[in-house]
Amino acid sequence: MTAFDNSTALYSGYWLHDSLHGDPFVSKLSWEADIISACYLIVTGLLSTLGNGYVIYLSITQKRKLKPPEILITNLAISDFGMSVGGQPFLIISCFSHRWIFGWVGCRWHGWAGFFFGCGSLITMTVVSLDRYLKICHLQYGSWLQRRHVFMSLAFIWFYAAFWATMPLVGWGNYAPEPFGTSCTLDWWLARVSVSGLIFVLTILFFCLLLPIIIIVFSYIKIIAKVKSSAKEVAHFDSRIQNHHSLEMNLTKMAIFICGGFMFAWIPYAVASVWSAFGSPNSVPIEVSVIPTMLAKSAAMYNPIIYQIIDCRCVSLSRITMICDFFRSARQKTTFRKPR
C-alpha cells in the first residue's frame, strides 16, 4: 500500500472500502457535468452573497430599531452568507479543475464550514419557529421575550453549531470527499466501519436534523391550529389589534416559507446521505448523488427572495392601513365638528 493509500484509509472509512487504490479527489463526473455544476454554483452563490449581504447591510444601518424576530432573521442571513462565501468558492474552483485541489486540510475545512453554517441556519429557524409559537399561542410568554433573550439565543445557536461541527475535527467522526470527488461533507460512511462511527452518525442525525425538524413542525402545527380557532375572535377587535395580528401573521408566514425552502433544499441531501450510510454500498449512482448536493448549496439564496416578497406585502398592508386610518379620522372630524 502506498503512502497515498495509507492517508486515504486513515481519513475515510468510505474510501477504505470502495476506492482504496484510487484518488478520492478526482472528479467522477464528466467534464461537461463539472462545468455545468460550476456555472450553476456561480449563479446561486452570487445571488446568495448579494441578497444576504444586502439584508445584513440593512440590519447594520438599523441595528437599534431591530425587533427580536428581525434579529433572528439577520442571524439567518449571516449564516447563509457564511455558507456562500466560506464554502462555495472551493467547490466552484474544484469543478472547473475537474478534481478537489485543496487536499485533506481543505476538505476538512470545507466540510466543517458547510456543516457549521448549515446547522446554524437550521437551529436559527428552530428558534424562529419557537418565537412564532410563543407569540401566537402563548401571548404572556411572547410579551416576556426581549432583545437580551434573543442575544442569549444567538449565543446558544452558534455554540450548538460549533460544538457539533468541531466534533469530527477532534476525533469523533470525520469529514470526507463526496462520492463525485469535488466536494467534502461529513463522513456518513463511518456508520459501516465501526460502532463508534454508527453512534456518531445517529447522534448527528438526531441532534442536528430530526430534533430541530420535530420542533419546527410542532410549532407550526400549533400555530395553524391556533390561528384557525382565533380567526373569528380577531375580527371583533379594533383596527389596532387587527393590524398587530396581521403583522404577526406576516412574520409567521415568512418563517414558514423560510423553513419550507430550507427543507426543500436539504431534505433530499439528508435522505441521500442516510441512504449512503445505511443502504447498500454504492447503491446511489454518482451522477445522482451530485443532484442533492447542488440543491442543498442553493438553499442560501432562497431567503432574501422570501424577505422581499413578504416585505412588499407588509409595506402594502401598512400603506393601506395608513390610508384607511387617515380617511377614518378625517370623517370623524367632519362628523363631530361643532357648528359655529
Whole-angstrom distance, CA of residue 263 vs CA of residue 257: 10
Q: How confident is the model at residue 282 (pLDDT cuts 50, 70, 90)?
A: low
One-letter identity of residue 101: I
pLDDT value of residue 286: 81
pLDDT value of residue 327: 38
Look up the pTM and report it.
0.81
CA-wise closest residue to 87 among 75, 71, 100, 74: 100
208: its cell numbers: 442536528
Whole-angstrom distance, CA of residue 48 vs CA of residue 339: 62
175: its cell numbers: 469529514
- When the candidates are 3.40.30.10, 3.30.365.10, 1.20.1070.10, 3.20.20.80, the CATH number that belongs to 23-323 is 1.20.1070.10
pLDDT value of residue 111: 94
pLDDT value of residue 40: 94
| 60-84 average pLDDT score | 86
CA-wise closest residue to 8 among 201, 171, 197, 174: 174
Q: What is the pLDDT of residues 234-260, one digit of tens each?
A: 555 545 555 555 666 666 777 788 888
* 298: Cα separation from own chain's centroid: 10
Q: Which residues contact 80 (CB under 8 A, 6 or more apart)?
A: 48, 52, 117, 121, 299, 300, 301, 303
The lowest-confidence range among 100-104, 137-141, 183-187, 290-294 is 137-141
pLDDT value of residue 246: 62
What are the residue boundaries of the structural domains of the chain, listed by start?
A: 23-323
10 Å Cβ neighbour count for 198?
Answer: 15
Give percent of the chain above pLDDT 90: 34
Q: What is the pLDDT of residues 7-62, one digit of tens each?
A: 444 444 444 444 434 678 899 889 999 999 999 999 999 999 999 998 899 888 88
